[in-house]
């Protein structure tokens, strides 16, 4: 099956810094999503981005499907950005099956 790898596994930032999280996948995908899990366990969908670039406030994401990777940019990080960021992909003929990466744990220090 498809492999989804995220890097770095852990990231510590000072408040105000920028960061880039990466998601590599080993096969062609139908779509790709980014999620944030806050320290209380709540999961929030950030982007649905099978290709191209999207922006939402301080966050933006780019997926280069032909090169099998996606990037999540966080600018001017805040302590509320802390948590774990997951990417998940759907591939093949089954449109409902989502495969998650193991996540990047981000800690933003004040």
With CB under 8 A as the contact rule, the residue among 26, 48, 51, 79 that binds other proteins is 48
Among 45, 78, 79, 80, binds other proteins (CB under 8 A): 45
Answer for which of 43, 58, 64, 80 binds other proteins (CB under 8 A) is 43
- 8 phi and psi, to 5 degrees? -75, 165
Name which of residues 79 to 108 contact other proteins (CB under 8 A). Answer: 86, 88, 90, 94-103
Q: 92: Cβ–Cβ under 8 A, 6 or more apart, which residues?
A: 2, 30
User: Contact between 53 and other proteins (CB under 8 A)?
Assistant: no
Considering the complex, state which of residue 17 and residue 98 has its C-beta at the smaller distance from other proteins.
Answer: 98
Tell which one of 5, 7, 22, 31 touches other proteins (CB under 8 A): 31
Where does this chain bind other proteins (CB under 8 A)? 1, 30-31, 33, 35, 41-45, 48, 50, 86, 88, 90, 94-103
């Amino acid at each position: 099956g498809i492999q989804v790898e995220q890097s770095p596994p852990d990231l510590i930032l000072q408040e105000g810094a920028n960061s880039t999280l990466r998601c590599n996948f080993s096969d062609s995908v139908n779509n790709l999503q980014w999620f944030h899990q806050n320290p209380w366990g709540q999961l929030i969908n950030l982007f649905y981005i099978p290709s191209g670039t999207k922006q939402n406030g301080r966050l933006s994401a780019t997926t280069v499907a032909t090169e099998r990777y996606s990037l999540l940019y966080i600018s001017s990080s805040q302590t509320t950005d802390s948590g774990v960021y997951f990417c998940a992909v759907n591939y093949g003929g089954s449109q409902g099956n989502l495969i998650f990466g193991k996540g990047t744990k981000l800690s933003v220090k004040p």
